Amino acid sequence: MLVLDGGSKPPIQNPPDICHTDTLNFELCTLNFRPAVLVLNYPHIEKPAEQPARLQRLPRIRVAQIVMDYLAYGWSVEEICRQHPYIKPAEAYAAMGYYFDHQAEIDQEIAQEWKQTEVDAARAVRSPFYIRMKARGLL
């Protein structure tokens, strides 16, 4: 999808005949193209404002979650789909494409999630079973 920006100058409707002569007046003959803004659409991916990118069909699955399998285990798209049979190959490929185009954003999301996991683990109250097993040296 190509979206055109408003631009400040209107395009020349009827260029003067001087443009077709041997000596060109570049100021009059230059075509005024408005700058174009390219908007990329990722099939199967939606990115709501101020929210992480996610699958359209399965909105609980974020692109970052699919990417974590790729980064942590080195899984290919085929392996990701084998391990998560509810994800279609087209969705996994779209997620990986989105990741490579927005790598800094997704890496930041993963880092924030990892930090939150560490904070939650530090705050967690250990069960009596965990405490006994830890005291026996089994954990």
Task: Give the per-residue pLDDT at 2.
Answer: 39
Contact 2, 36 (CB under 8 A): yes
104: its two tokens: 């800094």
Helix (H) or strand (E) holding 3: strand 2-4
Would you list the domain boundaries of the chain?
2-38, 45-135
The overall average pLDDT reported for the chain is 83
pLDDT at 17 over 70: no
Contact 70, 96 (CB under 8 A): yes
Task: Give which of 92, 95, 63, 62 is closest to 80, Cα–Cα.
Answer: 92
Quickly count: other Cβ atoms within 10 Å of residue 96's Cβ: 17
User: pTM score, two decimals?
Assistant: 0.65
Task: Give which of 4, 1, 11 is closest to 37, Cα–Cα.
Answer: 4
Task: Give the per-residue pLDDT at 15.
Answer: 52
pLDDT at 71 over 70: yes
- What are 20-32's pLDDT values in tens digits? 555 555 555 555 5
Q: Strands, DSSP E only, in 30-72?
A: 36-38, 45-46, 54-55
Protein fold of 45-135: Arc Repressor Mutant, subunit A (1.10.10)
- What are 76-126's pLDDT values in tens digits? 999 999 999 999 999 999 999 999 999 999 999 999 999 999 999 889 899
Residue 139 confidence class, pLDDT cut points 50, 70, 90: confident
